[in-house]
């Protein structure tokens, strides 16, 4: 019996080790060095960047090179980042479901979508002191926003939520109205299609100062306060000026996304979009 026990234990250990090897091998599949001369020649056109960054994918190599030909002035790092995001392909094509559901690191953009029935956990009503109506955020984001708005108030500024969590169906109604009014091509520059809206994550606020329409938020003193302080509370300007080709949306001075203090500080210091940060430091 003892021999049988040890024999079975040995088989179990071997099977576990083989399973682990297969899992690791699968994760590294895109990172394996491909020895073919043709591949080495192609990599040299990208300055052998596969040795420099850990989010390079060999199966995207031809796409990287095609994108490089189209945008020869971009750095190799930017080429890899943008292709990994999917920016070498039309918006809303070759889309995939969002990972990181119910996490503050979730990515939602024009290539990454949320399920129709997705409702984030722990939605909580934002205080009426800092909101125009009944607005909800994920609890962590709600707490951070209220602290930020309270500090702004103490400094003599007014920051209030005019839009926060939106369900799939609410977003569909908005988007359909915009398409009816402006046509799909124009609507896509400023409104997300249902399932592709960050508002559905419960981590986003649109804000104003209670005096000017939100479209003029950039002209307010509150906007400048947010420029200097939002990241201290874990918020980032999600669709910044000059990054429209990466985010896929027009610049929105009023749209802020909660990502936590650490990520927000890094993005602030390095002038990144959340899309770029996600590809380089979360997804890989």
Pair (133, 209) in one structural domain: yes
The per-residue pLDDT for 19 is: 53
Residue at which a domain ends, from 32, 65, 85: 85
CATH number at residue 276: 3.30.1380.10
Q: Is 130 left (phi over 0), alpha (psi -120 to 50) or beta?
A: alpha
Q: Average the pLDDT over 91-120 and give the result.
A: 96
User: What are 191-202's pLDDT values in tens digits?
Assistant: 999 999 999 999
User: What pLDDT, in 10s, does the model give residues 2-57?
Assistant: 554 455 545 555 454 555 555 445 444 554 455 455 677 667 767 778 778 889 89
In the block, residue with structure tokens 């005019």: 162
Q: Does residue 234 sit within a domain?
A: yes
Residues 137, 142, 146, 147, CA torsion sign: negative
Gap between the Cα atoms of 273 and 218, Å rounded: 18
Which pLDDT score is estimated for 18? 54
Q: What pTM did the predictor assign?
A: 0.85
Mean model confidence pLDDT for the chain: 89
The pLDDT of residue 13: 52
80 pLDDT more than 70:
yes
Residues 102 and 209 in one domain: yes
Asked if residue 206 lies in contact with residue 214, where contact means CB atoms within 8 angstroms, the answer is yes
Do 202 and 148 fall within a single domain? yes
Mean pLDDT of 207-215: 95
In a shared domain, residues 157 and 179: yes
Query: What is the model's pLDDT at position 23?
Result: 46
The answer on 151 and 276 residing in a single domain is yes
- Residue 56 vs residue 186, higher pLDDT: 186
Which residue has better confidence, 41 or 232? 232
Last residue of a domain, one of 41, 59, 85: 85
The predicted pLDDT at position 27 comes to 47
Q: What is the pLDDT of residue 217?
A: 96
Number of domains in the chain: 2
Q: What is the pLDDT of residue 98?
A: 95
Predicted pLDDT of residue 32: 44
Whole-number pLDDT of residue 48: 76
| Active-site hit among 136, 146, 198, 252 | 252
pLDDT recorded at residue 187: 97
- Both 18 and 119 in a single domain? no
Are 224 and 263 in a shared domain? yes
Is 91 a member of any domain?
no
Answer for the pair 114, 102: CB distance below 8 angstroms, yes or no: no
Residues 12 and 114 in one domain: no
Residue 277's pLDDT band, with cuts at 50, 70 and 90, is very high
Euclidean distance between CA atoms 227 and 254, whole angstroms:
11
**Residues 128 and 46 occupy one common structural domain:** no
| pLDDT at 172 > cutoff 80 | yes
CA distances, 51 to each of 31, 32, 181, 265 (Å): 10, 11, 49, 28
Q: In the annotation, is 140 catalytic?
A: no
> Which domain does 229 fall in, by range?
96-283
Query: Dihedral of the CA atoms 68, 73, 75, 76 (nearest 10)?
Result: 20
pLDDT value of position 35: 47
Q: What is the pLDDT of residue 54?
A: 87
Same domain for 268 and 155, yes or no, is: yes
User: Could you tell me which of 255, 273, 249 has the C-alpha nearest to residue 191?
Assistant: 249
What are the φ and ψ backbone dihedral angles of 257, each rounded to 5 degrees? -120, 135
């Amino acid at each position: 019996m003892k021999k049988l026990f040890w024999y079975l234990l040995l088989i179990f250990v071997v099977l576990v080790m083989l399973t682990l090897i297969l899992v690791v091998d699968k994760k590294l599949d895109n990172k394996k060095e491909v020895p073919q001369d043709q591949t080495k020649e192609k990599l040299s056109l990208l300055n052998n960047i596969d040795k420099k960054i850990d989010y390079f994918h060999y199966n995207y190599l031809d796409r990287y090179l095609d994108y490089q030909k189209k945008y020869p002035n971009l750095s190799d790092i930017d080429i890899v980042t943008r292709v990994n995001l999917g920016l070498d392909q039309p918006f809303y094509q070759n889309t995939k479901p969002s990972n990181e559901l119910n996490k503050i690191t979730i990515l939602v953009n024009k290539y990454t979508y949320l399920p129709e029935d997705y409702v984030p956990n722990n939605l909580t009503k934002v205080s009426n002191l800092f909101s125009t109506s009944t607005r909800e955020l994920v609890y962590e984001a709600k707490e951070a926003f209220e602290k930020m708005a309270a500090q702004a108030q103490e400094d003599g500024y007014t920051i209030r939520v005019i839009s926060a969590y939106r369900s799939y169906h609410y977003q569909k109604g908005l988007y359909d109205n915009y398409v009816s009014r402006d046509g799909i091509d124009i609507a896509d520059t400023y409104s997300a299609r249902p399932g592709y809206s960050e508002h559905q994550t419960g981590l986003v606020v649109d804000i104003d100062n209670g005096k000017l329409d939100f479209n003029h938020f950039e002209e307010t003193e509150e906007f400048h306060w947010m420029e200097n302080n939002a990241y201290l509370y874990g918020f980032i300007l999600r669709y910044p000026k000059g990054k429209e080709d990466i985010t896929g949306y027009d610049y929105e001075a009023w749209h802020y996304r909660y990502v936590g203090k650490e990520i927000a500080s890094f993005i602030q210091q390095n002038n990144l979009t959340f899309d770029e940060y996600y590809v380089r430091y979360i997804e890989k």
